[in-house]
Amino acid sequence: MDKKNKTINIGKNKDSYEMPLNLLQMSTYLEYFSPNADRELNEIFKKLDLDSSSRKKYDNTIDFKTDERERKKLRNINKGLTMELFASGMFGYIDHPVEVNANCVVNYTQSEGSTDDMFGRVMPCNFAQGNVPDVQIDFENYMVLLEVSAKYQPSKEDYNKQLNGALKHARSIRKNGYDKPIYCLLINERTLDHVGNKYELKEVLDDINSSEQIYITAMSIEEYSALGKEMAKTYEAEISNLSSDDLHTVFNETVKKGIYGRFDDLLVKHFGDVKDQEHGSWF
C-alpha cells in the first residue's frame, strides 16, 4: 500500500483530517485501551495532539469549570474521541468508501499569523454527541455504522445501551429516507465469545423486522486490534484489492450467523481465500 496515512472526513461536508498514524500503529495502540493505563493512553493523546499542551497550542481546549473532577473529564473525552478516530481510520483501510465520517466535534484553527484558509487546520475536539452515530461509512449499495465505546469494563447495562443506540441511529437514518441495507458494528471491551453478550445482542436483533434491512453485530476492542494487525502484517495486498461488493458479502455472511457471526474471522478468511487463489495461479 503506497499511502500509509489515510484521510478521513470528520462529519459530512466538513474538512478532511489526516490521521498521523498508519494501520499497524492504530491497531497496536488499541491494545492500550483495555488496561486503561494513564501513561500509555497519554502517549496516544500526545501523538494525536490531544494532550493538554497541544490543545492549548492549537486553541483546541474544552471549557471546563475549575473543579478538579470536571477537569479529569478530559481524559475520558480524549479516550472516547481516540476510539472514534482509530475505528474510522482503521476501517478506511478496508476498502475505498465514498466517505468515512467520524462524527466527532471538531475545531477549525488558523495557523498563527495566517489569513489564508488554506493554512487552517481541522482538529478533533470531542467525541460524537448522542444524536448521531459515532462513524458513518457510505458505500454505493449499503451503509456501515460504527458504534464504539472506550468505557473501561462496561456493564451489561452499558452494552445494552450501546446496542439500542446503534439501532436508534440506524432507524433514524432509515426514517430520513435511506432505503439500502444498514450494517451496524459495535466495538467495545465485550466479546461475543461470552454467552451473556450473545444474549444481549439477540434481544436487540429480535426487535428488528426483516423489512427494516438493519443488521447489527459486535466485536471487542481486542478483536478489532487483532484484525487490524493481521491486515497490516499479512494481507496488505489483499486489502488494496478488496471491493465494496466483497465487503458486502462478508457483512452478509456475518449477519446470517446472527449472534454467532464474527465479522473479523470472516473478513480474515476472505483475505486468506483470495491470497490462496493468487498463489495457486502461479503454478
Model pLDDT, residue 137: 93
End-to-end CA distance of the chain: 25
Model pLDDT, residue 64: 77
AA letter at 241: N
Model pLDDT, residue 282: 43
d(CA 61, CA 58): 8
Our CA angle for 201, 149, 166, nearest 5°, is 45
CATH class entry, domain 7-278:
alpha beta
- Indicate the SS3 state at residue 92: coil
Structural contact between residues 200 and 166, judged by C-beta atoms closer than 8 angstroms: no
Model pLDDT, residue 283: 40
Structural contact between residues 143 and 183, judged by C-beta atoms closer than 8 angstroms: yes
Q: Which residues are within 8 A (CB) of 178 and not within 5 positions of it... i.e. 6 or more apart? A: 143
- In sequence order, the β-bridge partners of residue 136 are 101, 145
- For the chain, list residues with pLDDT below 70: 1-5, 65-71, 95-96, 110-120, 279-283
Q: What's the farthest any 2 CA atoms get from each other in the chain?
A: 70
d(CA 152, CA 171): 28
239, 235, 233: which is closest to 96 by C-alpha? Answer: 239
Domain residue ranges of the chain, discontinuous segments joined by +: 7-278
Model pLDDT, residue 1: 39
Q: How far is CA 202 from the centre of its chain?
A: 22
C-alpha cell, 176: 430520513
In this predicted model, what pLDDT tens digit does every residue of 134-146 receive, in sequence order?
999 999 999 999 9
Structural contact between residues 58 and 121, judged by C-beta atoms closer than 8 angstroms: yes
Model pLDDT, residue 110: 66
Q: Is the pTM of this model over 0.85?
A: yes
Model pLDDT, residue 7: 76
| No. of helices (H) and no. of strands (E), the chain | 11, 9
C-alpha cell, 24: 499497524
